[in-house]
Amino acid sequence: MTKQPFLFLIGGILALIIAMGIGRFAYTPILPLMQNDLSFSNAVAGYLATSNYGGYLIGAILAGVIPLKQHRTIVLRFSFIISILMTACMGLFHSYFLWYVLRFLSGLASAFVFVLASSIVLDKLAAGGKTNWSGFFYGGVGMGIFITGLMTPGLHRSFEWEGVWIGLAVVSGILAFFVWIWLRDAPLILKRKRNQEFFTVPPVKWLPWLIAAYGLEGLGYIVTGTFIVSIAEQTSSFRSDAAFVWMVVGLAAIPSCIVWSSLAEKWGFVTSLVLAMAIQSVGIVLPVFWMTQTGFLISAFLFGATFMGITTLATTLARQISPSNSSRIIGSLTAVYAFGQMIGPTIAGILSSVTHDYNAALIGAASVVFAGACLVLSGVQFEKKTNIENSYIKETIKNEKRS
């Protein structure tokens, strides 16, 4: 990969760090700090998360239906600027109502960044025959999560929870300079390797199964994605700083997209997706049966190692099934994912307030994710056929060369 496309990829990674890793997920490690200082309930915490995911849902729908093909760069830049401003404002106000508005607008902006950056970068990588490099791009979310987990304790000690929001916004602003320079939409020159021309995926009529499963993933994963630090904070057996759990999630997420993309090249995208969702369901439910520091860290690792990998697999697979309009198909996937995210924290927050623990919420979330894995299992049959066909074609090409 030449220097220019490499910088293009780095720009995409930084965009995800800003809007997703920080703008969207910084709430998770900061939440227990805000609750300790302001003493609001888990139900309120769930409503705040839901307002963010509600904005994410609307943003995903709009990004998928509005024809932005000629204006993707301009809208992308505007969106990550809004994301940075909303992150900073969270540390400037103490009004629940304003927080709901700020988190809603942050979710709206982050959805536009995710959909547009994904479609721009995936189009570019596909044109250069580098689809498997999508794992590096989606690793940006894990990097952002790691940054929030790393910086939160120090910023909190010096500037309280308000300073954490503002400090992370400053970091985002610095990164935004490089995104502005490097991540631009550009005309594509298609390059494909000969053996890739024969790669097939499940037919378009199978997409509803993928979309439904991805919606269940959004509903289930977000319970751990929102509350894992708070659960660790409230557990007496967890003796370290609870933010360390979020660092583990981020560290596991950084290479996970590359790993799952590589596995998809060998086993197929559907097979890898089923496996990732099954592993994630185990990670989600683990603290219910193993509520120790070790159990939390393993849960965090399994969660981090799968949640962005699942996004990588699902979005890349969807684009391969319907490549003619990548923004629309990724927008549709992201919208149903966002709908699951929107209702997940509210349900989990209410359940935990009623039962005084998170066990019921975690068991329900794990069950939902596992059900999603079962839904996409039907797509494995197409990959088996594809693998046989590809092997036959490759062998035919070899024989032709020998003769």
In angstroms, rounded to a whole number, what is the distance separating the alpha carbons of residues 348 and 214?
Answer: 19
Q: What is the DSSP string of 44-61?
A: HHHHHHHHHHHHHHHHHH
**Cβ-contact 275, 242 below 8 angstroms:** no
Map residue 200 onto helix, strand or coil. coil
In angstroms, rounded to a whole number, what is the distance separating the alpha carbons of residues 281 and 284?
Answer: 5
In degrees rounded to 5, what are phi and psi of residue 93?
A: -125, 155
**Cβ-contact 148, 125 below 8 angstroms:** no
Give the pLDDT of the chain (403 residues) as one tens digit per residue.
Answer: 445 667 888 999 999 999 999 998 899 899 989 988 998 888 888 889 889 988 988 988 888 777 777 788 899 999 989 999 999 999 999 899 999 999 999 999 998 998 888 888 877 877 777 766 777 888 898 899 899 989 999 999 989 999 999 999 999 999 999 999 888 776 555 444 444 433 456 777 788 899 999 999 999 998 988 888 888 888 777 767 777 888 999 999 989 988 998 888 888 888 999 999 999 999 999 999 888 888 889 999 999 999 989 988 898 888 777 766 666 777 788 788 888 888 888 888 888 888 888 889 999 999 999 999 999 998 888 775 544 444 444 444 444 444 4
Angle between helices 359-376 and 326-355 (to 10 degrees): 150
Residue 4, CA distances (Å) to 14, 114, 120, 125 in order = 15, 21, 14, 12
Q: How many CB atoms lie within 10 A of CB 12?
A: 27
In angstroms, rounded to a whole number, what is the distance separating the alpha carbons of residues 93 and 105?
Answer: 15
Structure tokens of 70? 């000629």
pTM for the structure as a whole = 0.79
Residue type, 318: A
**Domains parsed from the chain with CATH numbers:** 3-185+202-402 (1.20.1250.20)
